[in-house]
Amino acid sequence: MSRRLVGSWADDLPAISRARAIAALGVLVADYWPANEPALDHPDQISGHLSASRERLAYLAYPKRLRWGCYDEAKWTRFKERMAPANAAAGWKRFADTPGPIDLQSWTDNLRDAEVAETYRWLAELFWPVEVGIRSFYFGWWQSADGFGDSGRTAWHWPLRLGFLPDPKSQALLEDFHSGAHWWTRDLAHPIDLKGTGQSCDVLVSPLGLDDTRTALAPLRVGASAILLVGREPFDSPDCAVATHRLRTSADAAAVAFLAREPWIDTLVEVIRHISHDEPFNVVMSRVGRTLDTVPLIIAEHRLIDGTLGPAVGTPRRAASCAGAPWPSQPCLHVRGRSRDALGQICRAFWGARAGTPLS
């Protein structure tokens, strides 16, 4: 996927309108069209076709989000010729004003292509403003020398296992977590010193760069479902794209996310809070980014996005963890796949805690 396919098509529009127009263009280009293409001459027509694209997702096993973009350059050209940017922007706004969140996905391409590499960050930042109306955006489908393929760990454990590397910066972050985390995070997450325990983790949290993280991880022989690079800007070069892929492979991870925010304890707290809401990883990282006012770059396999998403492994030790946090931001326990009896026990414990009933 390359920024070149969009070109200067909507450059005359204001920033937010331009982002809306490009969002509409990419979604319409990605969707299937019959031989007789529908009219795209009016914002209402564009909005209607966008809504139809979202409605079709209910009948698909995959994907469950609107796709953005395609590889057919002729199709991009045809749609840019048939759809005025201002109409596309107005149509997207009407679509975004209808009920329901909008989640978009695109995919990785030739990792060594400079045009492609700078497209990831450009799109993530383009679609980030709240006014554009997109809840989350991520890139899927990792590419290697052998082509596309699924791999990686795709299940969360419970409590969530946060992994920390042995370097000084990571150890300082681990110590901050032990000393400064909110009381409820201790029930929702379990910090792991990867060198000291030799255990794999759910989320590897690293304040290091791509190459340094991979170097520190290599001798440990541990894995992670997702890697979160905190305090790191999204990449925009082929070398960093390749390094991201190599890091992901070395950890057998299904996702790598960049969050350009200093690695303070509140970053970890927000990650734990939103994963505990049982939301897909792309939504989790987008919500964390919104809370911390920083644009995330998310690259993940759809199995992690659609399955974080498998039932979590393990059972919460107690449900009091969500009793004291203020509504509506308190952590919500992950109960997908558990029995009705287990859910009932959690609910009884939760409401008992709110009423002042002691918990065992």
CA 359 from centroid of its chain's CA atoms? 35
Q: Residue 140: its pLDDT value, please? A: 85
**Which of the pair, 350 or 136, is modelled with greater confidence?**
136
**Side chain identity at residue 359, one-letter code:** L
Extract the tokens encoding 143. 């590419």
Ramachandran region of residue 263, left (φ > 0), alpha (ψ -120 to 50) or beta? beta
d(CA 21, CA 44): 14
Q: What is the pLDDT of residues 169-217, one digit of tens each?
A: 999 999 988 887 677 887 899 999 999 888 899 999 999 999 999 999 9
Extract the tokens encoding 328. 């509506």
Extract the tokens encoding 112. 């060594």
d(CA 169, CA 151): 29
Span 86-97, average pLDDT: 97
**Containing H/E element for 92?**
helix 85-96
Extract the tokens encoding 114. 């400079």
- Hey, which bits of 52-156 come out as E strands? 66-67, 103-107, 136-140, 143-144, 147-148
Q: Residue 331: its pLDDT value, please? A: 38
For residues 177 and 265, the answer to whether their CB atoms sit within 8 Å is: yes
Q: What is the pLDDT of residues 319-358, one digit of tens each?
A: 333 333 333 333 333 333 333 333 343 344 343 434 443 3
CA angle centred on 38, ends 36 and 44, rounded to 5°: 175
Q: Does the pTM exceed 0.85? A: no
Q: Is the pLDDT of residue 239 over 60?
A: yes
Span 113-123, average pLDDT: 83
Of 340, 349, 217, 202, nearest to 276 by C-alpha is: 202
- Hey, which bits of 20-135 come out as E strands? 66-67, 103-107
